[in-house]
Structure 1
Amino acid sequence: MIESFNRALDDLTGWIFATLVQPAMYEIGLMDWADDAIDWIQFGLFGLFSIVVVYVVCRPLEAWRPVEEVTDRGAIRTDIVYTLLTRLGVLPLVAFVVLNSLQAWWAGTVADSGFVPPTLENVIPGLREAPILAFFLYVVILDFGEYWRHRFQHRFGWWWALHSIHHAQRQMTFWTDDRNHILDEVLAALWFGIIALLIGVPPGQFPLLVLIMRLAESLSHANVRLSFGRVGERLVVSPRFHRLHHGVLSVADHGKNYAVLFPVWDWIFGTADFRRDVFPRTGDPEAPEALATGGWLRQQAVGLRRMAGALVGRGGG
C-alpha cells in the first residue's frame, strides 16, 4: 500500500512538473532549481491530499452528531486559514527547507565520523523482514515523542505562550488542529523530524506516518459527540478524550489527556482522564481576547509578544 501511494504521488508530481512547471522554468532560466521544484510540488500535493482526507473523514461526523451548535463561523474561517497556510503555504516551505537542511547535515556528519546511527532496524534486525511491524513501531515511538512535546508545550511558560493560541479556540472543529503559532509549527517539525531521523524511518514511509498522525489529530479536534467505548478509549485517542484536554479548566500545566494517538502514555504518566460522556466547553479563560477572536496576523503577533514576555520573566500574559 505504501509503495502504491508513493508511486501514484510520484506519477502525479512528474506529470505536473513536465506539463506545467518545467516549460515555465525553462523560459525564465530557472532549470537549476528543477530538482527543488519537483520536491516542492510533491510536498504541496501531499498537503492537499491530507486536507482532502481529513475533510472527507471529519466533516460528515461533525454534521452527524455535533457537540455544540456553530455560533462563530469567523473563528472557524480563521482556523481554515491556518490549515491552508500550514499544509499548502509558507509553513510547509519553512519545514521543508529546515528538515532538508537538517537531513543533509546529519548525513554529512555521519559520513565524516564513520558512526553508524543505531536505527530501529539495526537494533532489532528482524524488523527488516516484518515491514508492517516496523511501521507500527515507528508510529508508537513517534507518538511517544509527540506526547512529551505536548507536555512541554504546557509546562514551559515561553512555549505555552505560543501554544495558548491553539487552546484559545472556543469553537473547536477538525480545522482547529492546525491553529498554531508559526514558531510552534517549526519547533514541532524539528522535533518530529529529528526523532524520525534518529530511529531511521525510511523516506518512503515518512509521508504515510505524517498522514496518519494528522488524521488522528484532526479527528480528535472534531466537533462530534463521539467516544470509542470503555475499551476503545484506552487504545486510541477519541474526540471526547481530547476535548477534555481542551476544556476551559484544562490549561497551562494543569491539563490532562496530552496523547496524540495512544492514550496509554497518559495512563502511564498519570495524566489520563477517562471520564465518559463528558464534552466540556473549550477555550482558555485566561487568554487575551485577540487569541480567541483575532485574525491570523493578530494572533501571531500577540503570541510572539507573550513569548517574549515569558522569556524576560513577565509571564505568558
Structure 2
Amino acid sequence: MTDLITRPLDALTGWIFEHFLQPAMYAAGLMDWAEDAIEWLEFGLFGLFSIAIVWLVCRPLEAWRPVEPVTDRGAIRTDIVYTLLTRLGLLPLVAFVFLASLQAWWEGTVADSGFVPPTLETLFPALREMPLLAFAIYVVILDFGEYWRHRFQHMFGWWWALHSIHHAQRQMTFWTDDRNHILDEVIAALWFGAIALLIGVPPGQFPLLVLVMRLAESLSHANVRLSFGRVGERLFVSPRFHRLHHGILSIADHGKNYAVLFPVWDWIFGTADFRRDVYPRTGDPEAPEALATGGWLRQQLVGLRRMGAALTGRGQG
C-alpha cells in the first residue's frame, strides 16, 4: 500500500544523494554523516511531496469558491514560511525515529523478562492479514488522540499561549494549518509519534498516516465555501466545520469543533457545532497584534513570553 510513495521516494533520494550530496560531502570530509544525510534528505523530499499534494488539492478549491477575498498577503506569506519550516523538517517523522530508538532500547532492556509490549496486531493477530483495515484503525485511534491534544491546547493556559499563534490568523487559508509555535510543534510531534508507537504502527505506514492527517488538516483550513452536506458533515471534518472552530464566536464560547478528521469526537464529548452555511470571520480578537501580523521570529518570541507569563501567573499580555 505504501510502495506507491516509498519506492519513488527512495529512488529519488538515492539519485540526489549519489549525484549531488555525496560528492559534496566527500569533498568536505563529512562522509561519516552519510547515513544521517540520507535520512534527512528523505525527510525533506517527503515534506516537499506533502506540500505539493496539499497545494494541488487545496489551491484550486480556494480559487473556485473563496469564503473571503485575500486582503493580507503578507500574513499568508508568513504562514508559507511556517509550512516550509515545519514540513521540510518533518517533526512527526523525526519524533517517530527518536521514539522508535527509545522503544528499541526499552524492549531490549526488558527482553530478559519475556515481556512484550502489546500492540494492536499482537492483541488482534487477524489484522496482520488485513493491512487496509489495520491502517484505518490506526487513523481512527490517532485522530482520537489528536482531538484530545487539541482540547488540551485550549484548556491549559501555558499551552494556549503557544496555540494562540495559530488562532490569531485573520486571513485563514490552507497554509494556516502549519502556523504553530515551534515548541507546540515539538509537543505535537512527540504526542503523535508516541501514540503511533504504542499502537504498533509499522514504520513503513507512518509516512502515509502523516500525509493523510496533514492533507485533512490543510483542507479544513482552506479559504473555501465548502461543506459536506447534512450527513457528510457528521462523518468528516469539512472547511466549514473547522472554520467555526476558528471563528470569533467559537473562541468566545470556549471552543467548538476540535476534531481533525472525524467530527464524531466532538459529538460524543459535546463540542460539536453543526450549523450549516455559516462561515464566520476568523482570528482571535484578544490576541496581540504581533501574533496576527508579525513575522515568524516575532511571533515565536511573543509566544514564548506569553507562555512564561502564563506559567508564572502573570497573565499573557
Same fold flag (TM > 0.5): yes
Distance 1:253 1:119 in 2: 38
Query: Where does residue 179 of structure 1 map in the other structure?
Result: 179
Query: Where does residue 102 of structure 1 map in the other structure?
Result: 99
Distance 1:17 1:253 in 2: 52
Query: Where does residue 193 of structure 2 map in the other structure?
Result: 193
Q: Contact (CA 8 Å) 2:225, 2:240: kept in 1 or not?
A: yes
After superposing the two structures, state which structure 1 stretch, 111-120 or 48-57, moved more. 111-120
Alignment of 1:128-143 (within 5 A): 128-143=128-143
* 2:102 partner letter: W
Q: Contact (CA 8 Å) 1:119, 1:198: kept in 2 or not?
A: yes
Q: What's the CA shift for 1:32?
A: 1.2
Q: What's the CA shift for 1:316?
A: 3.0
Aligned-residue sequence identity (percent) comes to 80
Q: 1:313 to 1:253 in 2, by over 3 A?
A: farther
Q: 1:95 to 1:146 in 2, by over 3 A?
A: closer
Distance 1:276 1:3 in 2: 39
Alignment of 1:282-293 (within 5 A): 282-293=282-293
Q: What's the CA shift for 1:31?
A: 1.2
Q: 1:98 to 1:265 in 2, by over 3 A?
A: closer
Q: Contact (CA 8 Å) 1:169, 1:292: kept in 2 or not?
A: yes
Query: Where does residue 79 of structure 2 map in the other structure?
Result: 79
* 2:13 partner letter: T
Distance 1:96 1:222 in 2: 24
- Superposed CA offset, 1:155-195 (max 9, x none): 00000000000000000000000000000000000000000
Q: What's the CA shift for 1:99?
A: 3.9
Query: Where does residue 164 of structure 2 map in the other structure?
Result: 164
Q: Are 1:113 and 2:114 counterparts? A: no
Q: What's the CA shift for 1:251?
A: 2.2
Q: What's the CA shift for 1:103?
A: 1.7
TM-score for both structures, normalised by structure 1: 0.97
- Superposed CA offset, 1:114-157 (max 9, x none): 23111110111110010000000000000000000000000000
* 1:164 partner letter: S
After superposing the two structures, state which structure 1 stretch, 52-61 or 108-117, moved more. 108-117
After superposing the two structures, state which structure 1 stretch, 251-260 or 241-250, moved more. 251-260
SS in 1 for 2:313: coil
Q: What's the CA shift for 1:96?
A: 5.3
| Large movers: runs of 4+ above 3 Å | 94-99
Q: Are 1:213 and 2:252 counterparts? A: no
SS in 1 for 2:265: helix
Q: What's the CA shift for 1:237?
A: 0.2
Q: Contact (CA 8 Å) 1:160, 1:316: kept in 2 or not?
A: no
Alignment of 1:38-53 (within 5 A): 38-53=38-53
SS in 2 for 1:172: coil
After superposing the two structures, state which structure 1 stretch, 248-257 or 43-52, moved more. 248-257
Distance 1:128 1:12 in 2: 30
Distance 1:159 1:98 in 2: 19
Q: Contact (CA 8 Å) 2:93, 2:207: kept in 1 or not?
A: no
Query: Where does residue 273 of structure 1 map in the other structure?
Result: 273
Q: What's the CA shift for 1:249?
A: 1.9
Distance 1:134 1:158 in 2: 36
* 1:211 partner letter: L
Q: Contact (CA 8 Å) 2:95, 2:193: kept in 1 or not?
A: no
Unmatched runs of 5 consecutive residues or more in structure 1? none
Unmatched runs of 5 consecutive residues or more in structure 2? none
- Superposed CA offset, 1:192-216 (max 9, x none): 0000010110011000000000000
Q: Contact (CA 8 Å) 1:243, 1:282: kept in 2 or not?
A: yes
Distance 1:262 1:309 in 2: 34
Distance 1:95 1:134 in 2: 20
Q: 1:252 to 1:28 in 2, by over 3 A?
A: farther
Q: Are 1:236 and 2:233 counterparts? A: no
Query: Where does residue 126 of structure 2 map in the other structure?
Result: 126
Distance 2:86 2:312 in 1: 29
SS in 2 for 1:249: helix
Q: Contact (CA 8 Å) 2:170, 2:283: kept in 1 or not?
A: yes
Distance 2:212 2:85 in 1: 20
Q: Kindly report the root-mean-square deviation, in angstroms, between the aligned alpha carbons of the 2 structures.
A: 1.2
Q: 1:259 to 1:301 in 2, by over 3 A?
A: same
Query: Where does residue 8 of structure 2 map in the other structure?
Result: 8
Distance 2:93 2:2 in 1: 21
Q: Contact (CA 8 Å) 1:83, 1:179: kept in 2 or not?
A: yes
Q: What's the CA shift for 1:15?
A: 0.7
- Superposed CA offset, 1:90-115 (max 9, x none): x43x6655543322121111111123
